[in-house]
Structure formats: C-alpha cells, structure tokens
Structure 1
C-alpha cells in the first residue's frame, strides 16, 4: 500500500507540474478541437455515404423491377448495382474506405471492380488522408505523450532532485511507474472524454439498437487504443530516464515518433509492393480475357468447345437441330459460358489476392517492429475499413452477380423457345414478374471472429510490446544511475 501511495504522489506531482506549462493547455485544446472536428467530419461522411448508397441501391432495385417483359439474357446484360454501406465504427477510422469504391456494376459474363471512391472525386489534400479520431489517437496523442514525458525524469536529473528522491528511499521502479502513471493520467483527460463522445455518437448512429458483434468491436477498439497509448507513455518515461538531458530525450522521442508513424509505414508499404509485385489492372484483365478465349467463346456458334457441346446434346436427345431440343439451347450455352468465365476470373483473382496477401503479411510482420502498424491494421479491421473488408465486398458482389446471371439463364432455358421469331412476330420474352425472383443485394460486414482471426498478429504484437516494455522497466530499475 505504501508503494502504491508513493507512485500516486509522484504521478500527482508530475500532473501538477505539467499543467503549470501554458503550452500544454494550448496543445491539449488544439488536439481537443481536432477530435471534435474529426467526430463531425466522420459523422457527415458516414451519413452522406450511407444515404447515397441507400438511395442508389433502392433506385437500382426499382429500375430492375420496372423493366418490361424481356428476354432473360437481355436482363442479365442490363445488370444491377451492388452498394457497400459503411459500419458505425468507420466514423472514427476511415482506413482505406475513401480510396476504395463502394459500388460495383454487376452484369453477365463480366466481373467489374468497385468504383466511385470518395478520393476519386476529391482534391489532392484528400488523397493525403483525412483527419479521423483514430488518426488523432494513433499519431497526434503519441506526439503529445512524448512532449509531456520527455523531461519527466531527465529534468529531475538536470536540476539535482533525482538524487534527492532516490536518497529518501524511493526506488527506481517506484519512480518510473509513478512517472508513467502521471503521464497516462494527463493523456486520459483527453482520451476518456473523446471515448465517451465516441460511444455516444456510435450508439446514436445505430439508434441505440446495439448488436453483440458491433459492441465487442467497439470495446476492443477502445481497449487496444488504450494499450497503444500506454505503450507510448512507457516509452516516453524510459527514454527520459535513460537520457542525460531533457534535450537529448526530446530529440530521441521525436526520432522514434517519426520512425514509427511516418518512415516505417511508408517504407514497409513500398518494400512489400516491390518484393511481391502485382500485375497492373490492364494486365490482369488481359490475362483473364486470353484464358477465356482459349477455353471458348460462348457467343460464337462455331467455337470448337461449344460446338462439341451442341453435338453431344443433339446426340443425347436424338434430334438433328437445336430448335428441336426440349429446352432453350442458347440459355444452356450461356449458363456454361458463365461457369467457365467465372471460374477463370476467380482463379486469376485468387492468384492476385495471394500476392496482396504476401504484401500484407510483410506489413503485419513489421508490426513486431512498429506498434503503430499493428494498431492501424487492427483499428481498420475492427472498423471494417481495411483491405480485407474491401475484398470481402468484392466477393459478396461477385457471388450475387453469378447467381443473378445463372437465374436469368435458367429462366431462358425454361421459358424461351428455340425457334427464332419471324420479323413480324413479337420478340421472345417472359413476364416481368420474374424480375422479383432476384433478391436485392445486401452487404454483410465481417464478424468479430473473422476480424480477430485476420488481425491476430497485430494483437500479439501490441501485447508483446507492452510486456517487453515492462520487462525493460524492471531491467532499467536495476541499472539506472542518478547521474
């Protein structure tokens, strides 16, 4: 109890000393204003994007249902749209969302990528990233922590009070933990109000109807950011204790901040992309087209692959022309063509995703050297704004597209005659009521278990860093000198 009392007294003294500096008030107010601006910006961005997605998803659905009687294959080419709605936590962590599209046009025989990203319609300032609450937590608060803690021990050494403290029976361990607690208590004056506002906004966005999955994500978002900030509190005090002067401590801490938040992230991304080079979009699409042409062209009646299918059908049904088959031959061929093109596309996509997975694995491995990367990856995963969430959206949209195209082909097989109408006849169509058989697209975000599985390395990295730093404190407590 006595030990804890001493550490609390040291923490209280540091907190009182910090607030004697008017610069701390100014910086704290500035960061508080940034947090407020980030919350407003995130709120507006979330509402704007989701209102737009809902509006055009509804309009796309209405356009689909309002089509007149038509040939099902024409409907498959008419296509549909898939829109991706943001999750409530994306208000606080924009992640990669502004740079990835949130809408995909879905049509038969063709796989499109997401379009209409926010960054695509923004100026150059937007492309450097927006101010989000997560960015303030992950980049600016650590810098403030370093500003608060750089002289926590070094100043005591410079003015001679360190020897006095140690001579009064205070151990290095008590001193270090007291200083860490003091820095943490100051930073919590910003963090806790921001978290309370964050929780209120998050609940408001969901009309106070909370799901277990989203609640766990929110709690983990807060918990890991708390651990992350605690890490920087420990770093600040340790570097201050190891430095002879406050100036050297400040220079060292600024160097660490630059390394963690700017240099290593950018270097890691560039090195990963260089080692595991991915094909360009043009090359990717060209490779798919080449493989599809090798397999056969379903729109070419003389294509060897599809001619062989036709001959086998004629033999199986013992007829001499496709017009005599008991089902629509063209629809059958389109079904086969869709299977082949989708299979080839998915094979190429998996190959591409494996390259990206290697790039991301490299980045996650570097998180053991840089807690900022670990926190950023985890934050984006919990907010559903990471790369994996984008790919998950692409896959959900592709599954929907494939099922839509095949359902249209099945309707053609069942209801469209093989006999071509005369020039004066009505075109071969089916009733428009069949369009309602295709459900509207609904994007389902990743669940918490999937997120934790994906970001397990980031979680281990953050926990490892905290454990390692407290081990360093014990070692430092035995070896540090007052002079």
Structure 2
C-alpha cells in the first residue's frame, strides 16, 4: 500500500508540473479542439453517407419496380444498384472508406467494382488522411505523450533531484510506474471526455438500440486504444530514464514516433506491393474476358460450346429446332452463360484476392515491429472500414447480382415463347408484377467473430508489446543508475 502511495504521489506531482509549461498546455488544448472537430467530422461523414446510400438504394428499388412489362432478359441488363451503408463505429475510424466506393452497378454477364468513393471526388489533400477520432488517438496523442514525458526522468537527472528521490526510499520501479501513471493521468483528461461523447454519439446514431455484436466491438475499441496509449506512456518514461539529457530523450522519442506512424507504414505498403505485385484492373478484366471466350460466347449462336448444348437438347427432346422445345432456349443459354462467366470471374478474383491477402499479411506481420500498424488494422476491422470489409461488400453484391440475373433467366425460360413474334406484333414480355419477386439488396457488416479472426495477428501483436514493456520495466528497475 505504501508503495502504491509513492507511485500515486509521483504521478500527482508530474501532472501538476506538466501544465506549468505553456507549450504543453497549448498543444493539449489544440489536440482537444481537433478531437471535437473529429467527432463533428465523423458524425457528418456517417450521416451524409448513410442518408445518401438509403436515398439512392430506395430510388434504385423504385426504378426497378416501376419498369413496365418487358422481356426478363432486358430487365437483367437494365440492372440494379447495391449500396453499402456505414456502421456506427465508422464515426470513430474512417479507415479505407474514403478511398473505396460504396455503390456497385449490378447487371447480367458483367461484374463491376465499387464506385463513387469520396476520394474520387476530392482533391489530392485527401491522400494525407482525414481527421478522425482514431487518427488523433493513434497518431497525435502518442506525440503529445512524448512531449509530456521526454523530460520526466532525464530532467531529474540533469538538475540532480534524481539522486535525492532514490535516496529517500523511492526505488526505480516505483519511479518508472509513477511517472507513467502521471503522463497517463494527463492524457486521460482528453481520452475520457472524448469517450463519453463518443459513446453518446454512438448510442444516438443507433437510436439507443444496440446489439451485442456492436457493443463488443465498441468495448474492444476502447480497451485496445487505452492499452495503446498506456504503451506510449511507458515508452516515454523508459526512454527518458535511459537518456543522459532531456534533449537526447526528445530526439529519440520523436524518431520513434516518426518510424512508427509515418516511415514504417508507408515503407511496409510499398514493399508489400513490390514483393506481391497485383495485376492492373485492365489486365484482370482482359484475362477474365479471354477465358470466357475460350469457354464459349453465349451470344454467338455458332459458338461450338453452345452449339453442342443445342444439339444435345434437340436430341433429348426429339425435336429438330429450338422453337419446338418446351421452354425458352435463349433463357436456358443465358443461364448457362451466366454460370460460366461467374465461375471464371470468381476463379480470377480468388487469385487476385490471394495476392492482396499476401500483401496484407506482410503488413500485419510488420505489426510485431510496430504497434501503430497493429492498432490501425484492429481499429479499421472493428469499425468495418478495412480492406476485408470492402471485399465482403463486393462478394455480397456479386451474390445478389448472380441471383438477379438467374432469376430473370428463369422467368424467361418459363414464360417467354421460343417462337419469334410475327411482323407488327409486340415483343414477348411478362407482367411487371414479377419484378417484386427479387428482394432488395441489404448489406450485412462482418460479425465480431469474423473481425477477431481476421485481426488475430494485430491482437497478439498488441498483447506482446504490452508484455514486453512490463519486462523492460523490471529490467530497467534493476539496471538503471542515477548518474
């Protein structure tokens, strides 16, 4: 108990002395203002994106249902839209959302990628990143921690008070922990009010009706960010303890911050993309089209693959022309063509995703060298703004597109005659009431179990870093000298 009192007394003394430095006060005030702006920015971003998505998803559905009686294959080519709504946690972490599109046009025989990203309509300044709560917590608060903690022990050594402290019964372990708690208490003055506001915003955005899944994500977001900030508090104190002067401590800590938050993340992305090179969009689409043509062209009546299908159907039904088949032959061919094109596309996509997976795995592996990368990946995963969420949206949209195309093909097979309309006769069509048989698209965010599975490396990395710090504190308490 006496030891704890000593640590708390050291922490209290540091907290009281911090704001005597006007520069620290101004920096803290500036970051506090940035946090308020980030909350407002996140709120506006979430509200605007979801209102836009809901509006155009509704309009797309209305346009689909308002189509008149027509051939169902024409409806398949008329197409539909899939929109991706943001989750409530994206208020805190924008992640990759500004750079990935949130809408996909769905049509028969063709797989499109997401479009209408925020970056696509912004200037180059967006490349530097938007100000989000996560960015402030992960990048700016560690820098503030370093400014507060660089002289926490180095200054005591410089002015000779370190010897006095150690001779008055305070040991190195108490001193290190007390100083770290003091820095943490200053940071909590920003962190705790921010969390209170964020939780209220988070509840309000969901009309105070929350799910267990979202609650767990929110709690993990808070716990891991708290651990992340405490990690930097300990780093600041340890570097200050081993440095002979405050100046050396500050230079070292700024170097660590630059490596963690700027140099390593950018370098990791570049190296990952270089080692595991992915084909361009043009190369990918060309390869898909080439393989589809090798398999057969469903729109070419003389294509060998589909001619063989036609001959087998004629033999099976013992007729001499497709007009005499008991179902619509064109619809049958379109169904087969959709199966083939979708299978080939998915095979190529799986290969492409494997390349991206290797790139991301390289980045995640580097998180064992950089806690910032681990925290960033976990934060984006919990907020549903990471790469895996984008791919999940693409897959859900493709499943819906395939279902839509095959639904229309099935209606054509069942209701459209094989006989060609005579001169002056209207093209064959079916009632528009059938369009309502296709359900609207609804995007489902990844559940917490999938997020934890995807980010297990990041979680392990953060735990290992925290464990390492406890070990370093014990070692430092035994090895450090007052001089």
TM-score (norm 2): 1.00
User: In structure 1, how many angstroms separate the alpha carbons of the residues matched to 2:173 and 2:233?
Assistant: 15
Q: Which runs of 5+ in 2 are unaligned?
A: none
Match status 1:254 vs 2:270:
no
The match for 2:331 is: 331
User: In structure 1, how many angstroms separate the alpha carbons of the residues matched to 2:303 and 2:128?
Assistant: 50
Alignment deviations for residues 136-173 of structure 1 (CA, whole Å, 9 cap, x no partner): 00000000000000000000000101001111111100
The match for 2:392 is: 392
The match for 1:280 is: 280
Alignment deviations for residues 33-77 of structure 1 (CA, whole Å, 9 cap, x no partner): 000111111111111111110000000000000000000000000
Match status 1:102 vs 2:102:
yes
Match status 1:471 vs 2:471:
yes
Alignment deviations for residues 251-290 of structure 1 (CA, whole Å, 9 cap, x no partner): 0000000000000000000000000000000000000000
User: In structure 2, how many angstroms separate the alpha carbons of the residues matched to 1:146 and 1:482?
Assistant: 21
The match for 2:292 is: 292
User: In structure 1, how many angstroms separate the alpha carbons of the residues matched to 2:298 and 2:423?
Assistant: 25
Matches within 5 A, 1:367-378: 367-378=367-378
User: In structure 1, how many angstroms separate the alpha carbons of the residues matched to 2:443 and 2:375?
Assistant: 26
Matches within 5 A, 1:227-242: 227-242=227-242
1:346 deviation in Å? 0.1
Residues 131-140 or 17-26, more deviating: 17-26
1:127 deviation in Å? 2.5
Matches within 5 A, 1:442-457: 442-457=442-457
Alignment deviations for residues 440-475 of structure 1 (CA, whole Å, 9 cap, x no partner): 000000000000000000000001000001100100
User: In structure 2, how many angstroms separate the alpha carbons of the residues matched to 1:212 and 1:413?
Assistant: 45
User: In structure 1, how many angstroms separate the alpha carbons of the residues matched to 2:284 and 2:252?
Assistant: 45
User: In structure 2, how many angstroms separate the alpha carbons of the residues matched to 1:236 and 1:29?
Assistant: 20
The match for 1:310 is: 310
Matches within 5 A, 1:152-301: 152-301=152-301
Alignment deviations for residues 297-323 of structure 1 (CA, whole Å, 9 cap, x no partner): 000000000000000000011111100
Matches within 5 A, 1:56-67: 56-67=56-67
The match for 1:321 is: 321
Cα RMSD of the aligned pairs, angstroms, is 0.5
User: SS of the residue aligned with 2:98?
Assistant: helix
The match for 2:85 is: 85
Alignment deviations for residues 327-369 of structure 1 (CA, whole Å, 9 cap, x no partner): 0000000000000000000000000000000000000000000
The match for 1:149 is: 149
User: In structure 1, how many angstroms separate the alpha carbons of the residues matched to 2:168 and 2:39?
Assistant: 47
1:398 deviation in Å? 0.0
User: In structure 1, how many angstroms separate the alpha carbons of the residues matched to 2:470 and 2:146?
Assistant: 18
The match for 1:419 is: 419
User: SS of the residue aligned with 2:7?
Assistant: helix
User: SS of the residue aligned with 2:436?
Assistant: helix
User: In structure 2, how many angstroms separate the alpha carbons of the residues matched to 1:400 and 1:129?
Assistant: 33
User: SS of the residue aligned with 1:104?
Assistant: strand
User: In structure 2, how many angstroms separate the alpha carbons of the residues matched to 1:185 and 1:115?
Assistant: 44
The match for 1:366 is: 366
1:78 deviation in Å? 0.2
The match for 1:69 is: 69
User: SS of the residue aligned with 2:148?
Assistant: helix
Matches within 5 A, 1:27-38: 27-38=27-38
The match for 2:481 is: 481
- Dislocated runs of 4+, deviation >2 Å: none
User: In structure 1, how many angstroms separate the alpha carbons of the residues matched to 2:396 and 2:126?
Assistant: 28
1:423 deviation in Å? 2.1
